[in-house]
Amino acid sequence: EPVLQLRGVTKDYGEEVVTRVLFGVDLTLRPGEFAALVGPSGSGKSTLLNLIGLLDRPTEGQVLIQGQDTSKLDDDGLARMRARSLGFIFQFHHLLGAFTAVENVMMPLLADQGYPTPEMRERALALLRAVGLGERAESPPSKLSGGQQQRVAIARALVTSPRLVLADEPTGNLDTGTSVQVFELLRRFNVEQGTSFLIVTHDPRLAERCDRIIEIVDGRIRRDEPVAH
């Protein structure tokens, strides 16, 4: 069963003056796929990612996550689906400065149950070790380098074992060497855990490291093809 299906997804912005920014997008992502979403600025990538991330609803069409039609869910239902099935990584990692690395990683687990438990902490520590930051668990984000902060954000995105991770320019503010390391880390989780990834990137070299490139232009999928490695 696909982790994600978009069926005829259209998005309009505005009320008096309506602007259509997505035009009937169809897209299927299978378990374990590692796909890049590319396209010029303003083409609709962020809008599409927000719809897939259940942060916004389409004007027309359906978003299915693991076979479930999310148009049938109310806002609480969307929030539960988001917490259970999806992980998010952003260009600016949005780590909370007042908390340690391990506390930041635990945050998505707290959404389910309002207080931290020893199991949550163990799980978060395991993820920090997996991204090579076991020794920095008690550091606040401000004491970590940009690449380390992004690795904490990756641990946080993966701590709930999501089936699909959405990454918006995950290496956008990192130098080339660090970008490749962060990217390889995503790839490792993809291979080891079978997690699907949809990665928005402006960097053609990173897109070429994915298994599939989906290009969106003016709100329509212009190209969708496998990458030959």
Which of 39/108 has CB closer to ligand ADP?
39
Helices 176-193 and 146-158, packing angle to 10 deg: 20
CB of 153: closest distance to ligand ADP in angstroms? 17
The binder of ligand ADP chosen from 6, 33, 34, 47 (CB under 6 A): 47
Residue 167, phi then psi, degrees to nearest 5: -125, 120
Per CB under 6 A, does 41 bind ligand ADP? yes
Strands of the 196-200 sheet, one edge to the other: 86-90, 164-168, 196-200, 34-38, 212-217, 220-226
| End-to-end Cα distance, the chain | 26
- What's the rounded Cα separation, in Å, for the pair 73 and 122? 32
- 58 touches ligand ADP (CB under 6 A): no
Instruction: Assess 46 for contact with ligand ADP (CB under 6 A).
Output: yes
Contact between residue 57 and residue 82 where contact means Cβ atoms under 8 Å apart: no
In the range 142-201, which residues lie near ligand ADP by CB under 6 A? Answer: none
Among 45, 136, 156, 163, binds ligand ADP (CB under 6 A): 45
Tell me which of 36, 39, 185, 195 binds ligand ADP, using CB under 6 A: 39
Contact residues toward ligand ADP (CB under 6 A) are 13, 19, 21, 39, 41-47
